[in-house]
Amino acid sequence: MNFFRTPPTRTSETRFMQDIRRELGIITMGEEKVELSKIKKKCEKCGHDEASYYTRQMRSADEGQTTFYTCTKCMHQFQDN
C-alpha cells in the first residue's frame, strides 16, 4: 500500500462533481438545483441539433435575459444575449 498518496485537490473534486451534474442535465445555482430543458438548437461546434438550456438575468432588469446552451452531444457551451 502507498500511504503517501496525495489526496485529490479541492479543484479536482469540484470539477468531478460539475462533470457528473452536467452529464445528468442538472446545474446548481446556489442551493437551488435546476433540471435543464432541451430544445432544438444547432451546436456551433459539432452541428448537433439538440441542446439543453437555461436563462439568466445578467445585467439590469431593463435588459433581456441571456440564454445559455449546452450541446447534448459534445457538451459545448454557448449563449445568446
Q: Which residues are annotated as part of the binding site for Zn(2+)?
A: 43, 46, 71, 74
What angle (nearest 5°) sits at the alpha carbon of residue 20, between those of residues 15 and 21?
A: 95
- Gap between the Cα atoms of 6 and 12, Å rounded: 12
What angle (nearest 5°) sits at the alpha carbon of residue 10, between those of residues 6 and 13?
A: 90
List the binding residues.
43, 46, 71, 74
